[in-house]
Amino acid sequence: MKKILVLFSHPKFEKSRANTALVNHIKDIEGVTFHDLYERYPDFNIDVSAEKKLLNAHDIIIWHHPFYWYSCPPLMKQWIDMVLEFGWAYGPNGNALQTKTCLNVITTGGSRKVYCSEGSNSFTVRQFLRPFEQTANLCGMQYLPPFAVMETHKLSDSDLSNYALKYVELITLLKQSLSNSDCEGFSFINDIPKLNTP
Amino acid sequence: MTGSILFEAIVFLLGAIICVSIAKKLGLSSVIGYLLAGVLIGPYVLGFIGKEGEDILHFAEFGVVVMLFLIGLEIEPKNFWNMRKTILGMGGLQVGGTMLLSYILFALLGFDWKVALVISMAVALSSTAIAMQTIKEKGLMNTTFGSSSFSILLFQDIIVIFMLGFIPLLSNTDDNASAEKHSEHANLLETLPIGFQTLAIILSVVLIIIAGRYLIVPMLRKVAKTGVRELLIAAALLIVFSISFLMEYVGISPALGAFLGGVVLSNSEFKHELESTLEPFKNLLLGLFFMAVGASINFIVIANSPLEIGGVLIAIVVIKAFILFVTGRVFKLKLDQKLLLTFSLAQIGEFAFVLLSFAFGLNILSQDQMDMMLVITALSMSLTPIIGIINERFILPKIGTKESIKRPTDHIAKSQKIILVGFGHFGNTIGRFLRSHGVEATILDHDSNRVDFLRKMGFEVYYGDATRLDLLESAGIAEAKIIICATNKIEVSKAISKIVKEKYPHVEMMIRTKNRYDAYELLNLGHENIYRESLETSLTLAKDVLSRMGFRKYTLNRQVQNFIKYDEDSLRRLASEPKQEDNYIFKARKELEQQEKFLNEDFKRGIVDFDSHWDSEHIRKVLEKTKEE
């Protein structure tokens, strides 16, 4: 059974319907450590050694955050800046994260349609997530396609709970084992066959 | 009993130490402890102190003088002038009303009109020593109750001069005898006509004012320059002694003169120095005074006519209380303030001893009458702290829990109760911030003016001593989630924490502390949520200093956060280190040692020993190293 660390960053969690639904479903699952970064570090003063210990104790890292200006909220970036240290996560002797798996779980306001070369956002979600992908690569982690909850403003409560249940399913799969080969050809982990078998 | 001064001193000191510590343990005012000690060592119980108790009483009255000097120091002349209406109005009403009613009482009891008049004068005066000591002990000087009491007592100090001048006119014995007995109390001016007396009094007041400015302050400066601390103590005592001497010489109450002297010096730079120097003298002398009062209670007189004395005592206290209540009403005091005033000034004061023995000396009073009145005076003084406790424990809490206007709050605020103890500058900020989030804390405070104001603002406020379980319970401690101790009195916080830990362990405590030593104690008592007021503000200031010197603000910000974390860690580490318990004397030295240790560690830590992830120099160094390899 693999251990999952959910690094959740949301500066206004109390106002987010979508993330409240998602988080409520997964935060108490056994084998999942839900780590609320904005609650833990309201002053952005990240305890690097504590974070490293957490990373060491888990196999799968989920960056769970809203998609703000095509990226993550600032504390998440701060976390990446500070915790993924040279000489620890990358660089000479920087192999602490090798063999781990990593993915983004995001919520967006825009639909899949606007995230393409013809859409108003010009680029795909995967293209915007390249920095995360490469960060994972540099640290020797396997990077899986993102789990995305899109058009959140238009989602009804039942839509949201469907997404939340799917997130739970994903977590269950990840705990057993899920690799890039299961995701071949999919831009979003939402769509892989393993998640969609009845 | 014995003539040895040393023996007497031992008896008094031992009595004080034992009785006052017992009284304090029981949560009673120290006044009760002293009075009790006096009764115990007095002629009727253990008999260590005999008749000389009266001399001691006379000597100890000097404590009252010192106390008034200290009170004067805290009142600037401007404020004193602003108080003139309350002094005359409240004081006049109280003295006049009490004299009238008690005159009627004693006339009805069949006393001669002269006797009744003298007694009514004595009865009208209250005890500055007891009232002010209690007010100061409870920190109520700045309430309307405090200033009203003070005004009345001050008026009494002034009026007693006239009373002393008036009593000889009642004397009906032949002049020779009177003059003979009178000589005990004689002063320079009695032989002079009234006009000169008044002039002399005015002159001496002016003298005090001028001397304060042009003699005392320059003298204190000279003394301070020598740097010899005991000289300052000597100077402080000299000032009070000289003023008292001068005042007695012209026939004014020395306490009044000392008060004036204090007011004159309240603007000087030596104010605090004088205060801290004289404080211990005052306390000891007052203690001695209370003990002497206790020792002077003549139990034989009581035993001879217990009913008569009890009846008169009760009648007098009721009359005084009634007049005080009416006075409070006329001057529109709040109910709780009015009750405090009523109960704390309802005794007969130490001036009664002076007036009564003076009148006895003039053959106006008989020995029996004087004995009875002296006993009643001492008893009424002993009664005050007891009445005060009854008022505080049983009457005020009922008033203190008057209903308040409820404001709509959101569900977080409603479902979780917060109790905030102390609404001074610190608690006030907490309360405001909570309220801006719709969280209405239940506030406990012992300043009734503040309580009144907060109630008007719609806060739920309870008045009183937060270390009392019943008050905490009526404030709803049982269903509270958090109790915040924002008071600056660590003793109060510790007392509350004990109660909460024992009776309501589910309530989380958040405690303000002044410094790390208080924090250690609380940590060792098992409290985790400790907020040192000396930590974050000073670091914010230091951060701004460094920023002005050219350090980058963000780095400083992170350094401050790290410093706090480091300091909190070391606080917890040091708290668990074994210590020589409460070694008061070594505390200061230990403090210095710790400071030194901290400073060294800080220096070793260097300025920026972290944030290497943003520091390309660090990466370059490592890369170079690996290349070399």
Residue in the structure block whose two tokens are 């004067």: B72
Residue contact A86–B618, C-beta within 8 A:
yes
Cα A99 from chain centre: 17
Instruction: Tell me which chain B residues have a C-beta less than 8 angstroms from the C-beta of A81.
Output: 613-614
Mean confidence (pLDDT) of chain B = 79
- Given a cut of 80, is residue B127 above it in pLDDT? yes
* ipTM value for the complex: 0.71
Provide the residue ranges of all domains of chain B, joining segments of one domain with +.
Answer: 5-398, 411-614
Pair B375, B302: CB distance under 8 Å:
yes
Pair A160, A119: CB distance under 8 Å:
no
Residue contact B613–A91, C-beta within 8 A:
no
Pair A72, A8: CB distance under 8 Å:
no
The two tokens of residue B618 are 């660090």
- Given a cut of 90, is residue B550 above it in pLDDT? no
User: Which residue of B558, B613, B619 is in closest CB contact with A45?
Assistant: B558
Report pTM.
0.50
The correct CATH number of B411-614 out of 3.40.47.10, 1.10.10.10, 1.10.40.60, 3.40.50.720 is: 3.40.50.720
What is the pLDDT confidence band of residue B71, given thresholds at 50, 70 and 90?
Answer: confident
Instruction: Tell me which chain A residues have a C-beta less than 8 angstroms from the C-beta of B558.
Output: 45
User: Which residue of A48, A81, A86 is in closest CB contact with B619?
Assistant: A86
Virtual torsion, Cα A86, A88, A92, A96, nearest 10 deg: -140
SS3 label, residue B381: helix
pLDDT at A138: 96
Residue contact B613–A85, C-beta within 8 A:
yes
Give the number of other Cβ atoms within 10 Å of residue B226's Cβ: 9
φ and ψ at residue A101, rounded to 5 degrees: -120, 150
Helix axes of B306-330 and B335-344: crossing angle, nearest 10 degrees:
150
Give the number of other Cβ atoms within 10 Å of residue B464's Cβ: 24
DSSP B251: T
The CA distance from A106 to A73, in Å, is 11
Q: What pLDDT digit, counting tens, does each position of B571-607 carry?
A: 887 777 665 555 444 555 666 676 667 666 666 655 4
Instruction: Tell me which chain B residues have a C-beta less than 8 angstroms from the C-beta of A88.
Output: none
Pair A31, A98: CB distance under 8 Å:
no
Pair B369, B122: CB distance under 8 Å:
no
Q: What pLDDT digit, counting tens, does each position of B89-106 carry?
A: 999 999 999 999 999 999
pLDDT, average across residues A72-94: 94
User: Which residue of B561, B610, B612 is in closest CB contact with A43?
Assistant: B561
SS3 label, residue A103: strand
User: Which residue of A45, A48, A86 is in closest CB contact with B622?
Assistant: A86
Which one, of A1, A7, A2, lies nearest residue A136 by Cα?
Answer: A7
- Rounded to whole angstroms, what are the CA distances from B209 to B78, B203, B271, B307, B534? 14, 10, 15, 50, 41
Instruction: Please name the helix (run of DSSP H) or strand (run of DSSP E) that holds residue A34, with its range, or none.
Output: strand A32-36
Provide the residue ranges of all domains of chain A, joining segments of one domain with +.
Answer: 4-195
The CA distance from B188 to A144, in Å, is 106
- Given a cut of 90, is residue B216 above it in pLDDT? no
Substitution target from A43, A49, A88 for chain B, most B beta carbons within 10 A: A43
Which one, of B171, B247, B251, lies nearest residue B208 by Cα?
Answer: B247
φ and ψ at residue A47, rounded to 5 degrees: -85, 95
The two tokens of residue B219 are 């003298």
DSSP B136: H
Which one, of B308, B307, B297, B301, lies nearest residue B380 by Cα?
Answer: B297
Q: What pLDDT digit, counting tens, does each position of A119-143 carry?
A: 999 999 999 999 999 999 999 999 9
- Given a cut of 50, is residue B450 above it in pLDDT? yes
Q: Does B558 touch chain A (CB under 8 A)?
A: yes
Residue contact B614–A43, C-beta within 8 A:
no
Substitution target from A45, A93, A95 for chain B, most B beta carbons within 10 A: A45
Q: What pLDDT digit, counting tens, does each position of B344-361 carry?
A: 888 888 778 778 877 887
φ and ψ at residue A12, rounded to 5 degrees: -140, 55
Cα B267 from chain centre: 21
Residue contact B623–A92, C-beta within 8 A:
yes
What are the strands, taking DSSP E only, across B277-416? none
Virtual torsion, Cα B569, B570, B572, B575, nearest 10 deg: 180
CATH number of A4-195: 3.40.50.360
Residues in chain A: 198
SS3 label, residue A102: strand
Pair A147, A189: CB distance under 8 Å:
yes
Q: What percent of chain B has pLDDT over 90?
A: 11
Give the number of other Cβ atoms within 10 Å of residue B374's Cβ: 23
Q: Does B614 touch chain A (CB under 8 A)?
A: yes
Q: Which of A1-10, B58-67, B304-313 has the lowest mean pLDDT?
A: B58-67
Residue contact B561–A86, C-beta within 8 A:
no
SS3 label, residue A37: helix
User: Which residue of B561, B610, B613 is in closest CB contact with A86?
Assistant: B613
Q: What percent of chain A has pLDDT over 70?
A: 99
Pair A195, A173: CB distance under 8 Å:
yes
Residue contact A45–B614, C-beta within 8 A:
no
Domain at B5-398: CATH architecture: Up-down Bundle (1.20)
Nearest CA in chain A to B563: A45
User: Which residue of B561, B618, B623 is in closest CB contact with A45?
Assistant: B561
pLDDT, average across residues B102-130: 89
pLDDT, average across residues A94-112: 94
Helix segments in B140-253, DSSP class H? 144-170, 175-182, 194-211, 217-226, 229-250
